[in-house]
Amino acid sequence: FPVVEGVSIHNRFTNLKAPTLILNPSVPNLPRASEKPFASSPPTPPTPPLRSPSSSGALRNPSKHLLEKEKVSESRVSNLSQLALLWILPPYCLLSNWAGMRAMGMDRLDGRNANQMRPLTCSRNLLHRAHGSARWSQGDTIVLAAVYGPKAGTRKGDDPEKASIEVIWKPKTGQIGKQEKEYEMILKRTLQSICLLTSHPNTTTSVIVQVVGDDGSLLPCAINASCAALVDAGIPLKHLAVAICCGLSETGSVILDPTKVEEQKMQAFMHLVFPNSPLAVLPEGSSSKHDEPFEHGIITSVTHGAMPERGYFNCLDRGRAASAAISEFLRRSLQKDGS
């Protein structure tokens, strides 16, 4: 299946706005025609002309640098390492944030600012035997989810009046241990809360999650992939679920979507899952009592590390704001035909 979903340099930099939250806008906006040249040419190693412009050169005259690159190889963009290179060279729009970032003391290794997520990609319908499948990546964290179901019968202990969901988590390396069992349980309970369980009683839907790459924020990536895979399989859902990872540093500042290295440096990090829908099947009596809109409730929260109470609620607020952007991305990629 395609390694990278058609990123064109031109689109990437022109579509970038400079708000606080930046997603890689490339995937859903591209017309399908532009994908053909990428698929046909084989990936080639990066050539010297691309590496030589120093970062200061790029900042001084960014537009010239861009045109140069565009000329050199549109077809070579399919190489993942080049993409990583492009992302690390600070694009012009981050310049203004850079000063602010240094002031905050929050210098992230890959040049993102505190509110910036890694490039998201989502592709569906990759596996042809599975009833639904999706591949979700956030930077180097890549998860592949496959859905089989509904199949007849439930397991012995489960309620036959409802559909049941079974999750199998396959790590990238190593044996299955307690960590995988915990992920399975969290994923199962999260998916159970978004599926319409009464529409297919006495059936089992299996969700198999395969970790392809792990660079921090693994559980949210898996939840997003499973949600997209369920949609791809056509399982009836009450609403979508969007998941995000937030990290809290000792100084109290919140960063979004930390990498593995960043997670270890943080005082605490947490995985949050929010519901998302313009219209939803609301559980009765839930939103009437609260002044908060539906999207502000948490479906799932898993935290690691001790933090002050205020820090937790700060992270919740940031997570909510970010979830709006991720759900926008999810909807756009689900609406476009599966790549």
Partner 1 sequence: MATSARGGGEGEAAAGGGGGGGAAAEMEVEAYRRLFPVAYFERHLRESVRLDARPLASPRDTSVALGLVGSADGSALVKFGDTTMVAAIKLEVMTPPAESSDEGSVAVEFYMPPICSPTVRPGRSAEVAPVISKQLSDVIMSSGMINLKDLCLINGKASWIAYLDIYCLNADGSLFDAALVSTVAAFTHLEIPLVSVSDDGRVVTVPGELEGKTKLPLVNKDKRKLMLNNVPFSLTCGLHKEHILVDPTAEEESIIETFVTVVLDTLGRVVSVYKPGGSVLAYTSILKECITLAKRRAQQLRNILNESVSAMEVDKSS
Q: Which long-range contacts (CB under 8 A, 24 or more apart) does 315-320 make?
A: 315/246, 315/248, 315/254, 315/270, 315/272, 316/272, 318/115, 318/246, 318/254, 318/256, 319/244, 319/246, 319/256, 319/270, 319/272, 319/274, 320/274, 320/295, 320/296
CB of 230 to partner 1, least distance (A): 14
Nearest Cα residue to 262 out of 138, 176, 91: 138
Contacts with partner 1: how many residues (CB under 8 A)? 44
d(CA 218, CA 168): 15
d(CA 94, CA 250): 24
3-state class (DSSP) for residue 215 = coil
Q: Which x/- pattern over 136-165 shows residues binding partner 1 (rule: CB under 8 A)?
A: ---------------------x--------
> Of 234 and 305, which has the nearer Cβ to partner 1?
305
Q: Which of 60, 102, 181, 260 binds partner 1 (CB under 8 A)?
A: 181
Positions 211 through 270 that interact with partner 1 (CB under 8 A): 268, 270
CB of 211 to partner 1, least distance (A): 17
1 interacts with partner 1 by CB under 8 A: no
CB of 67 to partner 1, least distance (A): 49
188 interacts with partner 1 by CB under 8 A: yes
Give, as one character, the DSSP assignment of residue 126.
Answer: -
201 interacts with partner 1 by CB under 8 A: no
Q: Which of 25, 149, 220, 275 binds partner 1 (CB under 8 A)?
A: 275
CB of 203 to partner 1, least distance (A): 18
Positions 296 through 335 that interact with partner 1 (CB under 8 A): 296-309, 311-313, 316
CB of 306 to partner 1, least distance (A): 4
279 interacts with partner 1 by CB under 8 A: no
CA angle 207, 320, 144 (to 5 degrees): 25
Asked whether the beta carbons of 121 and 5 are under 8 A apart, the reply is yes
43: preceding bond cis by omega (within 30 degrees): no
Contacting range for partner 1; rule: CB under 8 A; set: 59-67, 105-113, 121-129, 178-186: 178-186
CB of 75 to partner 1, least distance (A): 44
Asked whether the beta carbons of 160 and 204 are under 8 A apart, the reply is no
> Of 10 and 296, which has the nearer Cβ to partner 1?
296
Positions 37 through 66 that interact with partner 1 (CB under 8 A): none
190 interacts with partner 1 by CB under 8 A: yes
> Of 142 and 147, which has the nearer Cβ to partner 1?
147
Binding residues for partner 1, rule: CB under 8 A, are 157, 177-179, 181-182, 185-186, 188-193, 268, 270, 273, 275, 283-286, 289-290, 292, 294, 296-309, 311-313, 316
